[in-house]
Amino acid sequence: MLYEKSTKDKATCENLVKHLQKYKGQEPIVKGFEAGVQGMMAKYAWSPYYKIKYLRNSAQIFDEVIKKNPQVAEVRFLRYSLEYFIPRYLNMSSHLDEDKKIFLNSLLRYPKSDIDAEAYQTIRAFLQRHPEQLTEQEKKQLSNLKT
């Protein structure tokens, strides 16, 4: 998946940004990916000014998408996975608990939820690698999920 490759490769991230900026539709998941790659570009920017600029652009797109589509679990996960890695002192990670509640609910109801098999596996794997924001109950629920 290009999005995951973008987390490790600047050229892929830049190409994905250009591609998604051309999208004129309003599909929430596509817009969520656009927001996510905008935020990812902060990782590759050398200047603190540009790092913050990318993060603010990302936040603005996420806010617009989530305002119109508050229950889309995959978009909530995309924002969560980005905010998870933003240093807390920047005060740009204020949605972690709110987003986690939405996508975790979909994860626990899968396959009777709004996420597909690929999103299910991606979210589950991310939470297993990064369980720090999970409560003990959420960790138990996650361990009981089917692979």
Question: What pLDDT, on a 0 to 100 scale, did the predictor assign at position 49?
Answer: 97
pLDDT at 85 (0 to 100):
96
Residues 85-127: tens digit of each pLDDT: 999 999 999 999 999 999 999 999 999 999 999 999 999 999 9
Q: What are phi and psi of 26, to 5 degrees?
A: -125, 20
Which residues, at least 6 apart from 106, have a Cβ–Cβ distance to it below 8 Å?
73, 113, 114, 115
Mean pLDDT of the chain: 96
For 108, other C-beta atoms within 10 Å of its C-beta total 13
Single pTM value for the model: 0.96
Nearest to 126 by CA among 100, 92, 98: 100
The amino acid sitting at 69 is N
Average pLDDT, stretch 131-137? 96
pLDDT at 50 over 90: yes
| Tens digits of residue pLDDT in 55-66 | 999 999 999 999
